[in-house]
């Protein structure tokens, strides 16, 4: 508990409140639409702290909520058999990229995070649903995996281009939710390994990340309650607009 208290005392009251509010919001978004916790967390925390510090805080909330997401649906074995080349390249790309590139690039990393968020928002708002033919999965999946891994290693954002690719596979709703959970879990574990290797993920960061799980879970429960009462399509539109505005701000301000 001393390590936990010391970490948040060092952050200060304002940043500690930001962390709690961020994970409530990130959990709420994930509870409504099934994704977005790392994206929201990295975007909001990136306004006030280094991406490597923000990434360390999201490790436990992202891992446990994604494991919960991938555990239900009944399609895990089939999805692993179908997606393992992409998942392997996500893991390798994220792990190698975190060790090689890291998140210590200063302004360019912040701008990279902003660009990734803006690209994600624009694709969600304006691009039609793409369709990948089965014969292209053998090469397109690994390509998307390694690109996703490298972007994750530099920005902590897991979604580009893995999410559009998974949405283009023609999976049903349950399969897609499970596939997203599987992809995000692999990305998070690889990111954690890279941060650990670079010394950016120690006992104090893990303790602080464990505490961040509480607001994240509360936000998820609120999001699941809210999902029954509003249009998911409307919420997605508002979410993408917010992510686009946040990404543009980070891209311009750096």
Q: What are the residue ranges spanned by the domains of the chain? A: 2-253
Query: pLDDT above 70 covers what percent of the chain?
Result: 92
Mean pLDDT over each residue of the chain, to the nearest integer: 83
Query: Which has the closest alpha carbon to 186: 78, 93, 118?
Result: 93
pLDDT the model gives residue 4: 56
pLDDT at 40 over 90: no
Name which of 75-79, 145-149, 196-200 the model is least confident about. 196-200
pLDDT the model gives residue 145: 95
If you average pLDDT over residues 154-173, what whole number do you get?
84
Q: How far apart are CA 178 and CA 72, in angstroms?
A: 7
| Local confidence band at 218 (pLDDT 50, 70, 90 cut-offs) | very high
pLDDT the model gives residue 53: 82
Backbone angles phi, psi at 107, to 5 degrees: -60, -35
Q: Which residues contact 122 (CB under 8 A, 6 or more apart)?
A: 244
In this predicted model, which residue has the larger pLDDT, 198 or 189?
A: 189
pLDDT the model gives residue 105: 55
Convert the pLDDT of each residue in 80-117 to its tens digit. 999 999 999 999 998 888 777 665 555 677 677 778 87
* pTM beyond 0.85: no
pLDDT the model gives residue 80: 94
pLDDT at 131 over 50: yes
pLDDT at 244 over 70: yes
Query: pLDDT above 90 covers what percent of the chain?
Result: 20
pLDDT at 19 over 60: yes
Convert the pLDDT of each residue in 132-163 to its tens digit. 888 999 999 999 999 999 888 877 778 888 88
pLDDT the model gives residue 1: 47
pLDDT at 217 over 80: yes
Convert the pLDDT of each residue in 204-214 to its tens digit. 778 888 889 99
pLDDT the model gives residue 3: 54
């Amino acid at each position: 508990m001393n390590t936990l208290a010391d970490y948040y005392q060092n952050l200060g009251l304002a940043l500690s409140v930001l962390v709690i509010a961020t994970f409530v919001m990130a959990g709420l978004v994930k509870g409504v639409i099934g994704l977005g916790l790392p994206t929201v967390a990295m975007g909001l925390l990136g306004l006030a702290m280094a991406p490597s510090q923000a990434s360390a805080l999201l490790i436990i909330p992202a891992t446990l909520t994604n494991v919960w997401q991938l555990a239900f649906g009944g399609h895990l074995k089939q999805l692993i058999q179908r997606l393992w080349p992409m998942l392997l390249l996500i893991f390798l790309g994220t792990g190698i990229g975190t060790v090689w590139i890291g998140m210590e690039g200063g302004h360019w990393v912040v701008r990279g995070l902003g660009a990734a968020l803006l690209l994600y928002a624009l694709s969600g708002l304006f691009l039609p649903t793409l369709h990948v033919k089965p014969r292209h999965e053998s090469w397109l999946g690994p390509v998307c995996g390694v690109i996703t891994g490298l972007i994750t290693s530099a920005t902590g954002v897991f979604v580009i281009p893995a999410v559009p690719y998974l949405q283009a596979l023609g999976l049903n709703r349950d399969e897609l939710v499970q596939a997203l959970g599987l992809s995000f879990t692999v990305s998070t574990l690889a990111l954690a390994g890279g941060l650990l290797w670079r010394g950016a993920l120690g006992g104090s960061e893990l303790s602080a990340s464990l505490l961040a799980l509480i607001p994240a879970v509360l936000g998820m429960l609120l999001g699941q309650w809210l999902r029954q009462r509003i249009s998911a399509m409307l919420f997605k539109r508002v979410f993408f607009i917010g992510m686009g505005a946040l990404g543009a701000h980070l891209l311009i301000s750096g």
